[in-house]
Amino acid sequence: MFNKLYNYRMLSFITVAPYIAGIILIVVTIYIIIYVIYPSSGSNDMLPKLTPLNKKIDVVHADVTQSKILGSAGSTVMGFFKLQMGDRTNTTGIFTPLLFVDNNWYLEISSVKVNDISARLRVITNRPSQGVHYEIITLPSIPKQKWVFIAILRDGRRFDIIYDNKIVESHRVDNYPVVMSMPLSIGDKKLDGLAIHIVVNGTRLSPDDVERERVTHVDTNNMVLEDNLIDISLPVLNLFAQCPPGLPCNPITQPPQNKLYKWNTPYH
């Protein structure tokens, strides 16, 4: 009797197992399609780890770039960059792309100022009856050897560029930007530095929304959390600052003892 029951259960499991495996495969496939290949229209962190800038890396697929950055009426691209001194051999003022969508727009920097410019946003636009051409948006220099949060906000033909929590340039290009399906990329072999938290959104976020996104990734010193190795040990140190249960410790919120003495004198 026991053997028959065991064999029946094994036969039932063997019969159902392929269906269970199929369901799991379908769920995993749907997850990959929705959250990896075709993420939602909200903000998405496309670069959650520290990444060197010394080579070109595609951080957003071309089809996602098309739908969220180029094809919509507005878009937001933002991220953290820590630039080192870069290519010291560059004495001709050649601009190097830092954050860009090939054949669409390029955030570029140069280690040598050209006409007093070392950073710019170069936008490829479509001039009616004359074809495509470049429109240049001049930007302030990007600080070196520190983390800088850069956001590019687009609303139609208008571009707003933010460094950290300040709009440093706002410009409306003369013609509509070209829309060509290409990946969003960072880096170049001439660059030296790091990038992290490249976030994209299919709408033009407000500066307040951008600031809320920025502060989620930095500490009180505006240092990216992943690059602050000291911060890793802080929770351990905090354990020693707490009072072990059962001991007569003063609560952490109690003000310090007043060590001033009241002056008494017979003269009034």
pLDDT tens sequence for the chain (268 residues): 545 555 555 556 567 667 777 788 887 776 565 545 544 445 689 999 999 999 999 999 999 999 889 988 999 999 999 999 765 555 556 899 999 999 999 999 998 887 888 999 999 998 887 778 899 999 999 999 999 999 999 999 999 999 999 999 999 999 999 998 999 999 999 999 999 999 999 999 999 999 999 999 999 888 899 987 665 434 433 334 444 455 555 544 455 555 555 555 555 5
Residue with tokens 């050649």: 94
Q: How far apart are CA 69 and CA 77, in angstroms?
A: 8
Question: What residues form DSSP beta bridges with 77?
Answer: 152, 200
Residue environment code for 186-195, b if the CB has 16+ CB neighbours within 10 A, otherwise e: bbbebbbbbb
pLDDT on residue 130: 76
Q: How far apart are the first and last CA of the chain?
A: 106
- Count of H-run helices and E-run strands, the chain: 4, 13
Instruction: For strands 147-155 and 158-163, give the pairing.
Output: antiparallel
pLDDT on residue 233: 37
CATH architecture of 44-227: Sandwich (2.60)
How many residues are there in the chain?
268
pLDDT on residue 140: 96
Amino acid in position 69: I
pTM for the structure as a whole: 0.70
Rg of the Cα trace of the chain?
28
pLDDT on residue 237: 39
Spatial CB neighbours of 145, under 8 Å, sequence gap ≥ 6:
82, 83, 84, 85
Query: How do the domains of the chain map onto residue ranges?
Result: 1-37, 44-227
